[in-house]
């Protein structure tokens, strides 16, 4: 087994030869802080009755990964339009692959629906968006990722809790924690659960007595179905409804946080895309649109020609129903929720 001094040498080596940017940001690698984190993990794990074997495996020769610190500090703020986002997330290839997965796993998908009330096309939509139906290959050892992020300090408590949850998952399911891989931020498996989410909602779908959302599609699907069920998924309600609104519509009402019943939206000029009236219903919904479209529709027209061109009379939008907001508890993004709804609609039929 490696000695503590060898661990120190390895950590410093990683800093000096792999991470000039991190080295410049934080100065020399703080070995005392690294040791304090290791000691704190050991104390907390022991207090939570995590096995000595898992504790030793967690703290045996961990690696500091500078690229993870850079990823955490440099998360892109580039904003896609809704059309751009949907083009990336709901591509023809993803739709085709989703239909193949529906044909490949009909029994498993039916079992999930029967137990949790979440239809196959919804499970497939989340699967497609989260990992491209399992094709996403995890890049990082999660043990090392969490320890690195704890050292960085921006969200030390959060990532410490994730590491402890991962240790318990390894303990309870006979997994080697040093072999569990995921994203730099700690998401793992077919549906990209973080450890605390897996701990709360994980389900054994294949009946082997263990929960493995990385290696078992059944466990992953059952866990996703359980999570959505616990969020209150209603299989009898749609997620969104495509509508149009007047070009001069109040953009502050198009972020999904203002909810009205359909008759109220109708009175404000919200219509079906073909110009028809909304259903006469007391159903409550929000309203989401790409506000960039409103800005473009009402922008002054610059032209050398003497012409009177009216702006577009309507803007595309979506009425957002309760299932939409349940999706946002999974991922708090309007665009993501619309993408799930769009892909799910494409996958309703095999």
Give per-residue pLDDT as tens, 57-94.
999 999 999 988 888 877 655 678 999 999 999 999 99
Is the distance from CB of 108 to CB of 147 less than 8 angstroms? no
- Domain range annotation of the chain: 1-76+151-172, 240-320
CA 69 to CA 173: how far, in whole Å?
A: 29
- Residue with more model confidence, 193 or 68: 193
Kindly tell me if the per-residue pLDDT of 16 is higher than 50: no
Mean predicted confidence (pLDDT) in 177-190: 94
Least confident residue range of 23-27, 214-218, 270-274, 344-348:
23-27
Least confident residue range of 45-49, 105-109, 118-122, 311-315:
311-315
Kindly tell me if the per-residue pLDDT of 310 is higher than 70: no
Mean pLDDT taken over the chain: 87
How does DSSP assign 52-86, residue by residue? HHHHHHHHSS----HHHHHHHHT-------HHHHH
In terms of Cα–Cα distance, which of 315, 237, 324 is closest to 271? 315
pTM confidence score: 0.85
CA 243 to CA 277: how far, in whole Å?
A: 10
Kindly tell me if the per-residue pLDDT of 25 is higher than 70: no
Kindly tell me if the per-residue pLDDT of 6 is higher than 70: no
Please tell me the predicted confidence (pLDDT) of residue 37.
Answer: 95
- DSSP 8-state class, residue 205: S
Kindly tell me if the per-residue pLDDT of 215 is higher than 70: yes
CB atoms within 10 A of CB 268: 13
Kindly tell me if the per-residue pLDDT of 30 is higher than 50: yes
Confidence band of 298 (pLDDT split at 50, 70, 90): low
Give the C-alpha distances (Å, rounded to integers) separating 168 from 143, 301, 322. 12, 61, 33
Q: Is 347 buried (19+), middle (13-18) or exposed (0-12) by CB count in 10 A?
A: buried
CA 225 to CA 209: how far, in whole Å?
A: 18
Return the structure tokens found at 176. 């080697």
Please tell me the predicted confidence (pLDDT) of residue 297.
Answer: 53
Instruction: Tell me the sheet residues that pair with 97.
Output: none
């Amino acid at each position: 087994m490696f000695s503590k001094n060898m661990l120190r040498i390895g950590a410093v080596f990683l800093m000096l030869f792999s991470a000039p940017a991190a080295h410049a940001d934080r100065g020399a690698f703080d070995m005392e802080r690294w040791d304090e984190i290791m000691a704190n993990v050991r104390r907390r794990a022991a207090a939570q009755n995590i096995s000595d074997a898992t504790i030793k495996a967690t703290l045996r020769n961990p690696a500091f990964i500078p690229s993870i610190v850079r990823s955490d500090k440099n998360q892109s703020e580039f904003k896609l339009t809704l059309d751009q986002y949907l083009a990336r997330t709901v591509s023809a290839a993803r739709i085709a692959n989703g239909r193949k997965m529906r044909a490949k796993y009909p029994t498993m998908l039916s079992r999930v629906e029967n137990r949790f009330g979440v239809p196959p096309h919804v499970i497939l939509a989340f699967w497609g968006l989260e990992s491209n139906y399992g094709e996403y290959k995890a890049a990082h050892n999660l043990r090392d990722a969490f320890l690195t992020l704890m050292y960085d300090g921006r969200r030390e408590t959060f990532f410490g809790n994730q590491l402890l949850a991962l240790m318990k998952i390894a303990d309870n399911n006979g997994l080697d924690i040093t072999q569990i891989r995921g994203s730099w931020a700690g998401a793992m498996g077919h549906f990209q659960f973080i450890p605390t989410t897996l701990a709360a909602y994980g389900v054994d779908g294949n009946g082997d007595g263990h929960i493995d959302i990385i290696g078992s599609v059944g466990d992953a699907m059952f866990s996703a179905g359980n999570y959505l069920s616990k969020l209150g998924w209603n299989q009898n309600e749609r997620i969104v409804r495509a509508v149009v609104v007047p070009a001069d519509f109040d953009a502050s009402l198009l972020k999904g946080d203002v909810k009205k019943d359909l008759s109220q939206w109708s009175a404000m000029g919200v219509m079906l895309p073909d110009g028809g009236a909304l259903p006469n219903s007391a159903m409550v919904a929000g309203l989401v649109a790409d506000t960039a479209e409103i800005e473009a529709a009402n922008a002054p027209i610059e032209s050398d020609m003497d012409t009177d061109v009216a702006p577009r009379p309507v803007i595309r939008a979506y009425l957002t129903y309760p299932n939409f907001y349940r999706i946002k508890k999974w991922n708090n993004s309007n665009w993501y929720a619309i993408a799930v709804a769009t892909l799910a609609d494409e996958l309703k039929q095999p």
